[in-house]
Amino acid sequence: MAFWTQLGLLLWKNFTYRRRQTFQLLIEVAWPLFIFFILISVRLSYPPYEQHECHFPNKAMPSAGTLPWIQGIICNANNPCFRYPTPGESPGIVGNFNASIVSRLFSDARRLLLYSQQDTSIKDVQKVLGKLRKLGNSSGIDLKLRDFLIDNETFSDFLHHNVSMPSSAVEELMDAGVNLQRV
């Protein structure tokens, strides 16, 4: 039998079956229409609202190292949502903690070691040696909490305005000594 003959006989059989079972035909047509009208009514009752895309700060896994992993846990505990891409979304970047004293020390040492043939700047060497001396004298007297913060960092403003600490207490806290051996 040819294809068109078989298709015609199949359609004729289906048409005859549907004509004899009118109630079943009505249910098969009405049920999808009923569900479709429910979807239309829900869409008209609750119009969609615009939601911006959400970018979260990256969190390092334990395999990235202990320091980035702990910084990711502590610094991103509240899991904020940003409207624009965060710096850590770029490939190859482990953490957004470039402002900490340890990260700055590692980046300065890396830059000094990688580009020592091209850049023999005495200023970079003195900067790294100064930070190493500061870390070496970790008796707690020379190293202050202020040394761990970058310039124009808003931690003291946060403590003053959001936590309602008096400015004298904030200054005392910023001048508090830090003992790296205990930390």
Can you give the residue ranges of every domain in the chain? 1-45, 52-98, 125-175
**DSSP annotation of 77:** T
User: Which amino acid is it at 100?
Assistant: S
CA-based torsion, 138, 140, 141, 145: positive or negative: positive
Predicted TM-score of the model (pTM): 0.28
Residue 3 has pLDDT above 80, yes or no: yes
Instruction: Name the band, by pLDDT with cuts 50, 70 and 90, for residue 97.
Output: low
Q: Give 50 or 175, the one with higher predicted confidence.
A: 50
Which residues lie closer than 8 Å to 65 by C-beta, 6 or more apart?
Answer: 94
| Mean pLDDT, rounded, for 70-76 | 78
- Residue 140: predicted pLDDT: 46
Measured between alpha carbons, how far is 144 from 89 in angstroms, rounded to an integer?
32
